[in-house]
């Protein structure tokens, strides 16, 4: 095996930075690629309705149901209604924590894509 002229150990040399104009590379930026299922990172269509229902309508319905139980019942129903209200609030906060976690994952993926772009083109994507 013969080594390349610039490297005595036979390792491939790193790619040279791109000399093309920033306008030509703007389309190739990984941060600009749209997803077929999303619009600006948000779901569209029936998926958006389902997510909105799970995120907001379900916890709201459970919480309101608990309040109705508390308002219309006796002492035992008051305690049971408080448990149902707590369950509705728990559903909302678990959804919120999940969204925070997913947001961090997406941010890491964008950072990785930007670093790959930097490695290929020699500049940070805009």
Q: Single out the residue of 31, 49, 27, 53 nearest to residue 40, CA to CA.
A: 31
The predicted-structure confidence for 57-75, as pLDDT tens digits, reads as follows: 999 999 999 999 999 988 8
Q: Percentage of the chain surpassing pLDDT 90?
A: 35
**pLDDT exceeds cutoff 60 at 21:** no
This prediction has a pTM of: 0.54
Q: Which two tokens stand for residue 78?
A: 């008051």
Q: How far apart are CA 41 and CA 96, in angstroms?
A: 17
Model confidence over 92-124: pLDDT tens digits? Answer: 999 999 988 888 888 888 899 999 999 998 888
Closest CA relative to residue 20, chosen from 100, 93, 95, 123? 123
Domain ranges of the chain: 44-121
Q: What is the DSSP letter of 33?
A: P
């Amino acid at each position: 095996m013969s080594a390349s002229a610039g490297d005595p150990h036979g390792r491939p040399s790193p790619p040279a930075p791109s000399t093309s104009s920033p306008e030509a590379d703007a389309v190739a930026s990984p941060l600009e690629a749209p997803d077929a299922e999303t619009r600006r990172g948000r779901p569209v269509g029936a998926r958006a309705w389902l997510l909105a229902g799970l995120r907001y309508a379900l916890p709201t319905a459970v919480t309101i149901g608990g309040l109705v139980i508390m308002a219309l019942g006796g002492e035992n129903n008051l305690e049971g209604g408080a448990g149902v209200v707590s369950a509705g609030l728990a559903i909302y906060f678990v959804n919120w924590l999940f969204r925070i976690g997913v947001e961090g994952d997406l941010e890491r993926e964008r950072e990785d894509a930007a670093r790959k772009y930097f490695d290929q083109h020699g500049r940070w994507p805009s």
